[in-house]
Amino acid sequence: MYCDVYSILLQRFEMFSEKLDCMLIWKMGKKSRVKTQKSGTGATATVSPKEMLNIISELLQKCSSPTPGPGKEWEEYVQIRALVEKIRKKQKGLSVTFDGKREDYFPELMKWATENGASTEGFELANFEEEGFGLKATREIKAMGNITLAFHLLCERANPNSFWLPYIQTLPSEYDTPLYFEEDEVQYLQSTQAIHDVFSQYKNTARQYAYFYKVIQTHPNASKLPLKDSFTYDDYRWAVSSVMTRQNQIPTEDGSRVTLALIPLWDMCNHINGLITTGYNLEDDRCECVALQDFKAGEQIYIFYGTRSNAEFVIHSGFFFDNNSHDRVKIKLGVSKSDRLYAMKAEVLARAGIPTSSVFALHSTEPPISAQLLAFLRVFCMSEEELKEHLIGEHAIDKIFTLGNSEFPVSWDNEVKLWTFLEARASLLLKTYKTTVEDDKSFLETHDLTFHATMAIKLRLGEKEILEKAVKSAAANREYYSRQMAEGALLPKYEESNIALLENTVADSRLPIVLRNLEEEAEEQGDLKIDETIDAEVTENGFVNGEKTLLNGTKSENENLNQEESNKDTEDAKESSSDSTDEVKE
């Protein structure tokens, strides 16, 4: 397997080199210079290859073991981190670094970009304090992945004659992703939904580094790469973070598929709420971005990164975005196969295009649930008679069509049940946190925290605020529909509705579920993919933070957890699925 993987890597490096007219040449004298490069303290690292391989093997073995249960994840993280820190200590001084500050190389970047066809008119690079470096408008502007890339970036950085050096020199030397958090900073994320992804990201990165370190040190063709004598964990962490925080999809040269790429200058733009205004011009073979709003001279130029939650921003981009209109928390739900009405519910859900088990989202905005989640909860809480009406009733098609439309309840009783259930589930999730909203707000105000610690606490605070809002919204809806039922109010019928409601793209809870893509808000920043170079057994979780399913996507039915298990232990609430309608009635 090592041979196959390494052959693929070498082929990919050669392919990139030919495409970019950039030869990966590294003279013997340069190798020795890199290996004995001094650290900031003046110390020169001395590394025993045999000793290093032994530690690497131990790390690889530790990282390749199955993920432990929720109560053991922190213990495993600490053990893996101890091995990584041991490796970093022994490799101190071996990483490739550049003299001076990052901004010292900005003029050369602008010159290089202009000489190679980039349009740099109308903006300049500037420091925006809290947000760091970005693009500043110099005039008024009117409104209009994978492992191979990470390795290629490392090879280019190690080559002093690289075509891409003016760009690489301006990349951050460190990032603010959880891979760079101190152990005590990670502890602030305990009990959050993000902590599992943080553990997975750290473990997978360590495993991949250990795997490729052994390949590079033992493969007979390793001498062809400039990384053999200077492939440190810090280097790999830097490359992974560079790609993870800056990767973008562009078409391949023949236009047959998309691939991941780093885009100089454009990737300096910081994020703001808005719309995606960047596309790829196939005719001119270039990435083009138009302004998402009017920018005056002297103002920072922003772009919209996509509908990502703050958990995604923290984990994949290394920042927390205040007032994120797309923030959300995950909620896993599923219909239990032990439910006596399972077959009927599964059929109704299938006709609506919804799986029987899925990861949904509770949103920071109103309404807190999507049309897909509303439709699922309605089916989940249906009685046998209501299920028959949606399967073989006279207006079965219309009923399926309006499952995700808030204007057309299945019945008042059904609405009361679903909002009662959602209120209870969100309340249960809130109980899994060790601190309250008030605790977190007070802690932020009274403590002098690091940037990473502040991000972590803001993230867990945001999760709880979304859940509290969902509880209040569910309670209000439960009370409203209870009154409707008590008063004997007539149910609205489909033909009596204003058809415009079905075309409203803003209030998505009113849209018929069959007209919507499942969980449109589930667009997720792609992680680095390792499946091109390592077999499935090694990469069961994908590269860095991949999972068997996409965020807010579907999970296989055998991964469902039933409600009884959830009731046994609130700590497992975030992982469990809710099961039978009978339990909702109780």
Question: What confidence score (pLDDT) does residue 140 get?
Answer: 56
- Whole-number pLDDT of residue 217: 84
Structure tokens at 325: 């209109």
What is residue 420's predicted lDDT score, i.e. its pLDDT?
97
Q: How far lies 332's CA from each of 232, 345, 373, in Å?
A: 39, 17, 11
In order along the chain (586 residues), what is the average pLDDT of each group of 10 residues?
A: 41 41 29 36 57 85 80 85 86 74 76 71 68 66 60 86 88 92 94 90 91 84 75 91 86 79 82 79 79 82 86 92 92 93 95 93 91 95 95 88 91 96 95 94 94 95 96 96 94 60 40 37 39 31 28 30 37 40 40
Give the pair of three-digit tokens for residue 388: 């028959």
Cβ contact 19:253 at 8 Å: yes
**How would you classify the pairing of strands 270-271 and 258-261?**
unpaired
> What pLDDT, on the 0 to 100 scale, is given for residue 123?
64
Query: What is the predicted pLDDT for the residue at 500?
Result: 41
Q: Which CATH superfamily is domain 328-522+556-585 in?
A: Rubisco LSMT, substrate-binding domain (3.90.1420.10)
CA distances, 444 to each of 178, 216, 329, 434, 461 (Å): 19, 45, 21, 16, 10
**Correct CATH for 2-317 of 3.40.710.10, 1.25.40.10, 3.90.1410.10, 3.30.420.480:** 3.90.1410.10
Q: Is 479 helix (H, G, I), strand (E, B) or coil?
A: helix
What does DSSP say about strands 278-281 and 258-261: parallel, antiparallel, or unpaired?
unpaired
Extents of the domains making up the chain: 2-317, 328-522+556-585
What is the reported pLDDT for 376? 96
Q: Give φ, ψ of 135 to 5 degrees.
A: -105, 135
DSSP secondary structure, 196-237, as one string: HHHHHHHHHHHHHHHHHHHHHHH-TTGGGSTTTTT--HHHHH
pLDDT of the residue at 120: 62
> Any bridge partners for residue 137, and if so which?
123
**Three-point CA angle 161, 165, 167, nearest 5°:** 165
Q: Do domains 2-317 and 328-522+556-585 have the same CATH topology?
A: no
What are the residues whose beta carbons fall under 8 Å from the beta carbon of 121, sequence distance 6 or more? none
Q: Give me the helices (H) in 91-141, please.
A: 106-115
Token pair recorded at residue 527: 């992680």
Which of these, 368, 435, 387, 406, lies nearest to 510 by C-alpha position? 406
Query: What pLDDT, on the 0 to 100 scale, is given for residue 222?
Result: 73
Which pLDDT belongs to residue 518? Answer: 36
- Beta strand 123-127 with 133-137 is antiparallel
* Enclosing H/E stretch for 554: none
Residue 270: partners with Cβ closer than 8 Å, 6 or more residues away: 128, 131, 132, 134, 300, 302, 303
Packing angle of the helix pair 233-246, 194-218 (nearest 10 deg): 130
Question: How far is it, in rounded angstroms, from Cα 192 to Cα 124?
Answer: 39
Residue whose pair of structure tokens reads 């073989």 in the numeric block? 392
pTM given for the model: 0.63
Helix, strand or coil, per DSSP, at residue 529: strand
Report the alpha-carbon distance of residue 557 to residue 355 in Å, rounded.
Answer: 9
Q: How far is CA 250 from CA 216, 278, 296, 466, in A?
A: 30, 11, 30, 34
Token pair in block for residue 16: 């990139």
545 vs 528: CA distance, rounded Å: 8
What is the pLDDT, as a whole number, of residue 146?
59
